[in-house]
Chain A
Amino acid sequence: MRRGGPGLGLALALALSAPASARDPAVDYMLECQGCHLPDGAGATGVPDLRDGIGRFVGVDGGRAYLVRVPGSSQAALDDAALAAVLNWMIRAFGPAEVALRFRPFDAKEVAHFRTEPLVEVDAVRRGLVERMSAD
């Protein structure tokens, strides 16, 4: 009985020290992404379909940077840690499953690094990445 005490106290301290704004990444997806990407990730007219697609980007050279630098990500009202959490959540939620199971998750440091370089020619960069995916 006694031994459970300190562990529980530590867990409680960690929970209390978490930033107050830390939202569930699924909720951040709703608030920051779903308006255009839609609840199931299918995307409204002219918005890329995330389903079975978003995860493929982490496998190609430049793909991880693209997912962070694309305006919807880099300009979202999320700090680096929250953006990393949403991207990880999206890859797990929208797949493909084989990527979702084994990809290396984004962290705040990697997101911060890519975020400093805004992406202007989105369509051209995306086309290049998709071509690289099909070449593999």
Chain B
Amino acid sequence: MKPIDGIFSDAARALARRTSRRGFLGRLGTALLGGAALPLLPVARAGAAARDPAPGEPSRASELGDPQRCGYWRYCAMDGFLAACCGGSHRSCPPGTEMSPVTWLGTCRNTADGRDYVISYNDCCGKDICGNCICMRHEGDRPVYTPSRSNDIDWCMGRAGIVYNSTVAIVVGVATEKE
């Protein structure tokens, strides 16, 4: 038995020399916390918020970017706070707010597939202003005397909760040319 005893005792000593108990606890903590933080990374968030694409919407595979960042392709004419940073997603309003049915619309090019899509910028209404992720891009924006082309309008008008909270960007179609 002696040789076997010796092998295990040497191995245990070697292991104890190479490692420290604090080091092990540190690495365990990193693994636990890191594992918990993984779902919070942008890719996972986008996946969690995603449902199957609506008709006319690009497939999930052909959409790049983070809906919590102003640079996201759908926000090319955004003027407001991103609902995705306020408890909602890029196409659903935060809890406690109501999506305005009246909107303003524009087109944005999806860099992933090179096509232009019609985007509806619906305001989320009825709760105080969100304040997170302000996004002002204004591509295609025109002065308010052309109301349907202006993103400066509070589209919460006419709703029970007229207070503006944030904005979503919903794909409603592909900007096709006339046949």
Chain A interfacial residues counted at CB < 8 A: 24
Say which size band chain B's interface belongs to. 20 to 34
**Are B158 and A46 in contact (CB-based, < 8 A)?**
yes
Chain B stretch 137-165: residues in CB contact (< 8 A) with chain A:
142, 146, 148-149, 155, 158
B175 touches A45 (CB 8 A): no
Contact B103 A27 (CB under 8 A): no
Could you count the A-B residue pairs with CB atoms below 8 Å apart for me: how many are there?
Answer: 61
Chain A residues contacting B175 (CB-CB under 8 Å) are: 23-24, 27
B94 within 8 A of A: no
Does A26 contact B173, Cβ atoms closer than 8 Å?
Answer: yes
Contact A27 B173, beta carbon cutoff 8 Å: yes
Report Cα–Cα, A27/B172, bound state, in Å.
Answer: 10
Q: Which residue of B lies closest to A27 (CB)?
A: B175
Q: How far is the CA of A76 from the CA of B172 in the complex (A)?
A: 20
Return the chain B residue nearest A45 by Cβ.
B158
Q: Which of A19-52 contact B (CB under 8 A)?
A: 22-27, 30-36, 38-39, 44-47
Q: Which of A25, A26, A38, A44 has the most CB of B within 10 A?
A: A44
Which B positions have Cβ atoms within 8 angstroms of A? 101-107, 118, 120, 142, 146, 148-149, 155, 158, 172-179
